[in-house]
């Protein structure tokens, strides 16, 4: 009888610990989204991956995007290059993690100001290339914009300078 109770207790402990780990993971993801906002993807263009032979060519869509648009919808399409237009008179977003290599949930236009490629007053055209996630991202202050550092993330982007 004691053996059955012990086995039952160990089984319940195992089930509870697995449920706890799942809950902790969900809680951390929810906390990150709460602290840093939810991705603003409603205006983000949906891109098609380039054929393998053309993956290093620029996909010149010239799509006008909102200043809060992120590259998150393109996660996993590594090597895809897309050209965006950040309209003049934009507002900086607080969604910015990294330096030169940015998390894909960062604002593309704000990152472009940070990188010195456009200004909020004049706007401008930028080309991004989707990259895999990195183990960490460094925060810096450049061109009047501060980016934050972050640990590992699932996807990234860089700017292609012509």
pTM above 0.75, yes or no: no
**What are the distances in angstroms from CA 65 to CA 60, 145, 152?**
14, 19, 26
Instruction: Give the fold, CATH level 3, of 52-159.
Output: Ferric Hydroxamate Uptake Protein; Chain A, domain 1 (2.170.130)
Cα 26 versus chain centre, distance: 18
Q: 103 with 128: CB under 8 angstroms? A: no
Give the separation between CA 103 and CA 99, rounded to whole angstroms. 9
**pLDDT band at residue 156, thresholds of 50, 70 and 90?**
very high
Q: Where are the domains of the chain?
A: 1-36, 52-159
Q: Is residue 119 predicted with pLDDT exceeding 50?
A: yes
Q: 48 with 90: CB under 8 angstroms? A: no
The pLDDT assigned to 162 comes to: 77
Range 69-89 average pLDDT: 97
């Amino acid at each position: 009888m004691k053996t059955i109770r012990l086995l039952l207790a160990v089984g319940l402990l195992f089930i509870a610990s697995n449920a706890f780990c799942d809950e902790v993971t969900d809680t951390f993801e929810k906390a990150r989204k709460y602290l840093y906002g939810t991705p603003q993807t409603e205006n983000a263009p949906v891109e098609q991956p380039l054929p393998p032979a053309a993956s290093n060519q620029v996909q010149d869509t010239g799509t006008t995007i909102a200043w809060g648009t992120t590259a998150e919808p393109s996660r996993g399409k590594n090597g895809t290059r897309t050209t965006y237009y950040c309209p003049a008179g934009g507002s900086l977003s607080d969604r910015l993690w990294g330096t030169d290599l940015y998390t894909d949930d960062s604002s593309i236009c704000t990152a472009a100001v940070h990188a010195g490629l456009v200004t909020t007053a004049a706007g401008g055209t930028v080309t991004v290339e989707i990259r895999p996630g990195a183990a960490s991202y460094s925060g810096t202050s450049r061109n009047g914009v501060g980016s934050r550092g972050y640990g590992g993330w699932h996807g990234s982007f860089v700017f292609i300078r012509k």
